[in-house]
Amino acid sequence: MPKNEGPGKGNVLKAVFLDRDGVINRNIDKGYVTEWRLFEFLPDSLEALAHIKKKGLLAVLITNQSCINRNLVPKENVDDIHKCMLAEIERAGGKLDAVYMCPHRPDEGCACRKPRAELLERAMRDFKLSPDEVLFVGDHERDRGAAEAAHCRYDQVSERRSLFEITKEWLD
């Protein structure tokens, strides 16, 4: 299999788009990461992000954060969490090239909330990527739905398969 093609998928990847909660950090049962002290990187996620950078691919965060419009946390707090997260990722040798975030509640009917594709499409436009150059890694069916709507490849983390295992499978 040629480098960067992924398992039988064809076409060289140029970017990995990633969901946040449940992919990079641990989900909070029936809650939200509302401050940095609640953010806990999942095992191997920092290594996965360093691996993506080492392979020369873009890494882009695509995340729903309805806690903002639910008035559970100000947007500035989420921005601060992301600044701390980015710093930790860089300390570990990785990099997120951009963060795309939807602050809307599901009932608001916005176009940017996954499973809609707007955030993925915006990121592809901004980085001049075609859908076949993107792998989106999520942990939920709404992530799969967004990938399908944006026509890019998709893979899913689970208790049995970490982000690092996925990146090794697709990028090595």
**Domain-embedded: residue 10:** no
Residue 7 forms part of a structural domain: no
29 is catalytic: no
- Residue 3 located in a structural domain: no
User: Does the active-site annotation cover 80?
Assistant: no
Q: Both tokens of residue 45? A: 């996620």
In a domain, residue 1? The reply is: no
Structural domain includes residue 149: yes
Q: Structural domain of residue 71, as residue ranges?
A: 15-171
Q: pLDDT (tens digit, 9 = 90+) per residue, 42-62?
A: 999 999 999 999 999 999 999
CA separation for the pair 127, 122 (Å, rounded): 9
Structurally, the chain folds into a number of domains equal to 1
Residue 66 in domain:
yes
Choosing from 19, 139, 143, 155, the catalytic residue is: 19
Q: pLDDT-based confidence at 29, cuts 50/70/90? A: confident
> Mind listing the pLDDT tens digit for each residue in 120-144?
999 999 999 999 999 999 999 999 9
- Average pLDDT over the chain, rounded to whole? 94
How far, in Å, CA of 112 to CA of 118, rounded? 5
Is residue 2, in this structure, part of any structural domain at all?
no
Q: What is the CATH number of the domain that holds 150?
A: 3.40.50.1000
104 domain-assigned: yes
Q: Is the pLDDT of residue 11 over 90?
A: no
pLDDT of residue 10: 54
Q: Is the dihedral of CA 145, 15, 126, 77 positive or negative?
A: positive
Residue 5 phi/psi, 5-degree rounding, is -85, -25
Task: Indicate yes or no: pTM above 0.75.
Answer: yes
Mean local confidence (pLDDT), 30-50: 95
